[in-house]
Amino acid sequence: MKKALKITGIVLGAMALLIAAAAVYFNIKGIPSYEVKAPDITVEPTTDRIARGEYLVNQTCVICHLGEDGKLSGTLMEDDPGFGTWYAANITQHPEAGIGKYTDGELMYLLRTGIKRDGQFAPSFMPRFNLLSDEDLKSIIAYLRSDAPRVQPVATQQPPQDPTLLAKVVCNLAMEPLPYPEEEISAPPRTDEVAYGKYLVNGTMLCFMCHSASFETLDEVTPENSPGYLGGGNMVRNPQNRGEITPSANLTMHPKHGLGQWTEEQFAQAVRFGQKPDGKGLSSAMPKFSLLSDEDISAIWAYLQTVPVLENNVMAEASRQ
C-alpha cells in the first residue's frame, strides 16, 4: 500500500510539474505569431470602391473601432477577468498609432486571416472576413485610404493588449489563423436574392457569429455548419454596459421563439432602429444598422426564410445558465 501511494504521489507530482512548466511556457510565449504571406496587390481607389467601402465600414468596423473622437481610433473591446483586457485598434491612417504603414496586401491578409503585418495573431475578437468578396475587401481598403474624416490620422495609441494566462493558452492551442483563399472570391449576383442574403449574413455582416450557439463552436469556413446556426442563445456582452451579458436572438422562422410571425417591415425596424414589433427595444448589445439599404434587408430576409428552423427558446435557455 505504501509503495502504491508513493507511486501515485510521484505521478501526481510529475503532472503538477508538467502543468506548471506548460503555464510558464505559454505565459512567456504570449500570443502566437505566424509567417506573413501577404499578396502583392495595389488597390485602385475608384469612386465606386470608396463609396462601397464607406457603406461596409460604417456597418461593421465602426462597431468596435469607433473612438470617442468620432474617428476609427479604437476603444476598449473586452475587459474580462478570465480572458484579460483587449482593445480594438486604431485603424486611422496614422503611420505609428494606426495602419498607415500597412500595404494594401497586408491589410487584405489581416482582414482575411487575422495575422497582423508583424506576424502576431489577432484573436477572435477581430472578425476574419474570409468569405467577403475580393471586390468588397478592396473597397474597404480603398475607403480606409481615402480622405474621409473618420480615417484621417490621429495619434491615439491604444494600450497594449493584456491577455490572461488562460487567453494565452487558448490562443496557442484552440485558436488559429484562417487560411488565405487560394482563388478569388466573388459575391453572388444581387438578382439571386437568397444567395446574396446568405453572403451578407455569413460574409459581410457576420450575423452568424453572434446568433449561433456559441463563439467557441463557430465554423468560420462554413458558417452554416456552426452548431445552432442562427438559432441564437450565444451570450453576448453589451458594449454599453460591459457587466451585462445577454443571449442573442433566434433568427430562424420559428413561430414562437424566432421570427416566424414577423414581417419584413418589422424585421427592418428591428435591424435599423432596435425596435421589436411590440414596440419594446432590443438589447443594446445588438448594433443598430441604420444605414442598411432596403435591398440588403430584403436579401437577408429572403435568406432567413430558407434557414432550418430551430426551436430554441433563447430566454428560457439563458435563465438556466
How many domains does the structure of the chain reveal?
Answer: 2
Average pLDDT over the chain, rounded to whole? 88
- Same structural domain for residues 243 and 214? yes
Among 10-14, 261-265, 296-300, the least confident range: 10-14
Domain with residue 117: its CATH number is 1.10.760
Residue 179: inside a domain = no
Q: How much is the pLDDT for 7?
A: 59
Residue 14: inside a domain = no
What is the tens place of the pLDDT at every residue in 95-133?
A: 999 999 999 999 999 999 999 999 998 875 678 999 999
Query: Which of 116, 142, 173 delimits the end of a domain?
Result: 173
| Bridge partners (DSSP) listed for residue 245 | 237
Which phi-psi region, left, alpha or beta, contains residue 90 (left: φ > 0; alpha: ψ -120 to 50)? beta
- Same structural domain for residues 59 and 164? yes
Could you tell me the residue range of the domain that residue 288 belongs to? 193-319
Q: How much is the pLDDT for 243?
A: 60
Q: What is the DSSP string of 209-253?
A: HHHSS-GGG--SSSGGGSTTTT----EEEETTEEEEEEEPP--S-
Query: Which of 143, 173, 203 delimits the end of a domain?
Result: 173
- Same structural domain for residues 198 and 313? yes
- Same structural domain for residues 157 and 85? yes
For residues 97 and 178, the answer to whether their CB atoms sit within 8 Å is: no
- Same structural domain for residues 275 and 167? no
> What global pTM score does this model have?
0.90
- Same structural domain for residues 51 and 168? yes
What is the tens place of the pLDDT at every residue in 165-197?
A: 888 888 777 788 899 999 999 999 999 999 999
- Same structural domain for residues 206 and 164? no
pLDDT tier at 2, thresholds 50, 70, 90: low
- Same structural domain for residues 102 and 138? yes
- Same structural domain for residues 98 and 163? yes
User: Cell 427592418 belongs to which residue?
Assistant: 268
Q: Which residue has the higher pLDDT, 127 or 226?
A: 226
Q: Which residue has the higher pLDDT, 8 or 70?
A: 70
Euclidean distance between CA atoms 154 and 23, whole angstroms: 38
Residue 2: inside a domain = no
Give the residue among 144, 177, 126 at the shortest CA–CA distance from 56: 144
Residue 33: inside a domain = no
Residue 161 makes CB contacts below 8 A (sequence gap 6+) with 31, 84, 85, 86, 87
Euclidean distance between CA atoms 240 and 238, whole angstroms: 5
For residues 285 and 238, the answer to whether their CB atoms sit within 8 Å is: yes
Residue 3: inside a domain = no
Residue 216: inside a domain = yes
**98: helix, strand or coil:** coil
Q: How much is the pLDDT for 231?
A: 96
Residue 126: inside a domain = yes
Residue 29: inside a domain = no
Q: Which residue has the higher pLDDT, 105 or 33?
A: 105
- Same structural domain for residues 164 and 226? no
